């Protein structure tokens, strides 16, 4: 029986029940109040079944009452009974409408309360997860900081033999790389969540991205004495994608393979063509994944064993990022594992692209950076950062001069006429943008290239830098390779 028939049927049953009770009371009531008990039935029908059934109940009532509980037309003037009936119908209709309204409102209130309770529960859950995440994040950020501080302590107390210094340098580089990866992942998550992540699409050979990812993760494999075998298709496979992001995707998978595979384990990286796709497969013989978690690990913060994974240094966002990035490239990524202890296999598929023309290939590979004794003016209010940048540039053969504020930068630029000025944006007093505009007003500096260095790297920040007269915007932290490439491009004849 459908719901409508049930509601109407229930109304008739209620009215018949009330009629039965009224009939039982007939010896007591006689022909007195033949309609009144039925009013209760109309209320009930309106509340439980709605307006329609209440209307039917209201119409059924006079018929029942007339035949069973009155002597009409013999117990008075017929018009008197008709007036009673009309009056009853009026009251019944009015009360059904009011009752129905009441019932609708109370149902809406009950629903609103239930929704609010659900929201409150979801907010409490989100709050708990945020607290957990912040605790984990603090832990993860502290981990690399301790060795960096300790190395600083050792070096500042004269640990100066070359082997110690080299070892210390490698340690700092390793920890800083880890820290950078964490912060980059967090920034990417924020960008993706706000829909602000933009891909720089270009056509390139997948080998380039895979090699970059392998290079970046090789230290982890070496440290864990793990063997990496790569099997890359002989033919060049091209994709139309963001090269840095593809390297990030492969890098994340390789990094996980190393993290979740024991000391001395094996990792295979296979790149091949399958129909219209370039397939990248990362296999390991590590701890594996329970089959019911194979999808879950691609969710934000999805970790199979958070307490264990934390000691391995993860925030549970790497695979979520991989999935979003692969999606943005119109590809797919999936995980397979025969279960705990049986290793894992991650497969990324990206749409293959045709090979670029020969001219485009030459342009893409570009010439190497040139340095020579080019003079570079560094402007950074963070003295350590400025000194370090200067030191690195000197090592590369540049002639570096360092100043720490805007007015000093303008003075130094005017007297030295450097080939490049690397300007921190967040300077006290006079911002980097302002300094850049003042330098651009000086005609003797028309050949000087300006590089903005900033912690903010959104497209708006970059546009603002170009508007202020900068030739290039670099986002902190800047690595030597990026800087060398930028200087090479800007100082090329
Ligand atoms: P994180 O490594 O920071 O925890 P990810 O998003 O990169 O975060 O990975 C999510 C989870 O997936 C990991 O915590 C781990 O439980 C599981 N996982 C990822 N890669 C592997 C792998 N190669 N072998 C086993 N488990 C893995």
Residue 126 clears pLDDT 90, i.e. is over it: no
Q: What is the phi-psi region of residue 197: left when phi exceeds 0, alpha when psi lies from -120 to 50, beta otherwise?
A: beta
Q: What's residue 307's pLDDT? A: 62
Ligand 1 contact via 258 beta carbon (within 6 Å)? no
Radius of gyration of the chain (CA): 39
- For a substitution probing ligand 1, which of 256, 267, 302 has the most ligand atoms within 8 Å of its CB? 256
Q: φ, ψ for residue 195 (rounded to 5)?
A: 65, 30
Q: What's residue 158's pLDDT? A: 75
Q: What's residue 342's pLDDT? A: 95
- For a substitution probing ligand 1, which of 319, 323, 342 has the most ligand atoms within 8 Å of its CB? 319
Q: Which protein residue's CA is at the shortest distance from atom 11 of ligand 1?
A: 303
Q: What's residue 113's pLDDT? A: 96
Report the share of the chain in percent with pLDDT over 70: 94
Q: What's residue 147's pLDDT? A: 77
Considering only the C-alpha atoms of the chain, give the largest distance between any 2 of them, rounded to a whole number of Å: 126
Q: What's residue 365's pLDDT? A: 47
In the reported structure, the alpha carbon of residue 297 is separated from the centroid of ligand 1 by a whole-number distance in angstroms of: 7
Range with the lowest mean pLDDT among 236-245, 275-284, 352-361?
Answer: 352-361
Give the model's confidence band at 357: pLDDT under 50 very low, under 70 low, under 90 confident, else very high.
low
Ligand 1 contact via 413 beta carbon (within 6 Å)? no
**H-helix or E-strand spanning residue 77:** none
What pLDDT digit, counting tens, does each position of 224-270 carry?
A: 999 999 999 989 999 999 998 999 999 999 999 999 999 999 999 99
Q: What's residue 388's pLDDT? A: 84
In the reported structure, the alpha carbon of residue 199 is separated from the centroid of ligand 1 by a whole-number distance in angstroms of: 25
Q: What's residue 442's pLDDT? A: 92
Asked if residues 75 and 31 have their Cβ atoms less than 8 Å apart, the reply is: yes
Nearest atom, ligand 1, residue 287 CA: 25
Q: What's residue 493's pLDDT? A: 66
Distance CA 401, CA 376 (A): 6
Q: Which residue has the tokens 């000691």?
A: 311
Asked if residues 470 and 436 have their Cβ atoms less than 8 Å apart, the reply is: yes
What pLDDT digit, counting tens, does each position of 146-196 carry?
A: 778 888 887 887 766 788 788 888 888 878 877 887 888 888 888 887 888
Distance CA 360, CA 362 (A): 5
Q: What's residue 419's pLDDT? A: 93
Tokens for 429, please give them. Answer: 């007093």
Ligand 1 contact via 309 beta carbon (within 6 Å)? yes
Q: What's residue 364's pLDDT? A: 47
Give the model's confidence band at 1: pLDDT under 50 very low, under 70 low, under 90 confident, else very high.
low
Range with the lowest mean pLDDT among 49-63, 69-83, 153-167, 230-244?
Answer: 153-167
Angle at Cα 23 formed by Cα 60 and Cα 90, nearest 5°?
A: 35
End-to-end CA distance of the chain: 87
What pLDDT digit, counting tens, does each position of 465-488 carry?
A: 999 999 999 988 787 878 888 888
Predicted structure pTM score = 0.59
Most confident of 79-88, 236-245, 341-350: 341-350
What is the Cβ-side half-sphere exposure of residue 247, based on CA atoms within 13 angstroms? Answer: 17
Q: What's residue 175's pLDDT? A: 83
What pLDDT digit, counting tens, does each position of 381-391 carry?
A: 888 888 888 88
Q: What's residue 263's pLDDT? A: 94
Distance CA 306, CA 315 (A): 9
Give the model's confidence band at 330: pLDDT under 50 very low, under 70 low, under 90 confident, else very high.
very high
In the reported structure, the alpha carbon of residue 316 is separated from the centroid of ligand 1 by a whole-number distance in angstroms of: 7
Where do runs of H (alpha helix) occur along 284-332? Answer: 306-311, 318-328
Provide mean pLDDT across the span 422-445.
Answer: 92
The per-residue pLDDT of the chain, averaged, comes to: 87
Smallest CA-to-CA distance from 43 within 58, 22, 32 is with: 58
Q: Estimate the share of the chain in helix, then strand, then coil, as percent rounded to the nearest 5.
A: 60, 15, 25
């Amino acid at each position: 029986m459908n719901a409508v028939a049930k509601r109407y049927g229930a109304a008739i049953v209620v009215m018949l029940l009330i009629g039965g009770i009224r009939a039982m009371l007939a010896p007591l009531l006689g022909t007195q109040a033949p309609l009144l008990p039925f009013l209760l039935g109309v209320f009930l029908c309106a509340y439980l079944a709605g307006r329609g059934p209440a209307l039917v109940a209201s119409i059924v009532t006079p018929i029942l009452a007339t035949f069973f509980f009155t002597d009409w037309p013999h117990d008075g003037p017929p018009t008197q009974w008709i007036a009673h009936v009309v009056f009853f119908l009026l009251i019944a209709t009015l009360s059904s409408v009011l009752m129905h309204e009441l019932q609708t409102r109370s149902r809406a209130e009950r629903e609103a309360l239930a929704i609010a309770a659900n929201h409150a529960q979801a907010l409490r859950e989100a709050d708990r997860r945020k607290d957990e995440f912040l605790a984990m994040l603090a832990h993860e950020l502290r981990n690399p900081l301790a060795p960096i501080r300790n190395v600083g302590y050792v070096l500042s107390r004269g640990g100066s033999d070359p082997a110690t210094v080299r070892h210390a340098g490698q340690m700092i580089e390793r920890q800083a790389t880890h820290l950078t990866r964490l912060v980059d992942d967090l920034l990417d998550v924020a960008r993706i969540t706000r829909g602000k992540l933009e891909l720089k699409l270009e056509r390139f050979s997948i080998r380039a991205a895979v090699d970059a990812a392998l290079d970046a993760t090789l230290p982890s494999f070496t440290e864990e004495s793990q063997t990496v075998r790569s099997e890359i298709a002989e033919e060049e496979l091209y994709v139309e994608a963001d090269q840095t992001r593809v390297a990030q995707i492969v890098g994340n998978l390789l990094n996980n393979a190393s993290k979740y595979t024991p000391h001395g384990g094996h990792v295979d990286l296979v790149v091949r063509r399958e129909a219209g796709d370039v397939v990248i497969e990362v296999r390991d013989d590590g701890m594996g994944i329970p089959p019911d978690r194979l999808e879950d690990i691609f969710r934000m913060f999805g970790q199979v064993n958070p307490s264990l994974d934390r000691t391995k240094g993860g925030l549970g966002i790497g695979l979520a990022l991989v999935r979003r990035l692969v999606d943005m490239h119109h590809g797919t990524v999936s995980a397979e594992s025969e279960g705990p202890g049986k290793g894992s296999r991650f497969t990324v598929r990206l749409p293959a692209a045709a090979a670029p023309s020969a001219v485009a290939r030459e342009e893409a590979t570009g010439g190497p950076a040139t340095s020579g004794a080019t003079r570079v003016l560094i402007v950074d209010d963070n003295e350590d950062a400025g000194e370090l940048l200067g030191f690195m540039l000197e090592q590369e053969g540049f002639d570096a001069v360092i100043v720490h504020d805007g007015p000093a930068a303008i003075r130094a630029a005017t007297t030295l006429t450097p080939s490049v000025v690397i300007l921190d944006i967040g300077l006290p007093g006079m911002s980097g943008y302002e300094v850049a505009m003042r330098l651009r007003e000086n005609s003797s500096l028309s050949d000087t290239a300006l590089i903005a260095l900033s912690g903010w790297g959104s497209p708006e920040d970059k546009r603002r830098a170009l508007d202020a007269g900068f030739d290039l915007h670099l986002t902190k932290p800047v690595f030597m390779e990026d800087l060398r490439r930028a200087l090479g491009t800007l100082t090329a004849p």
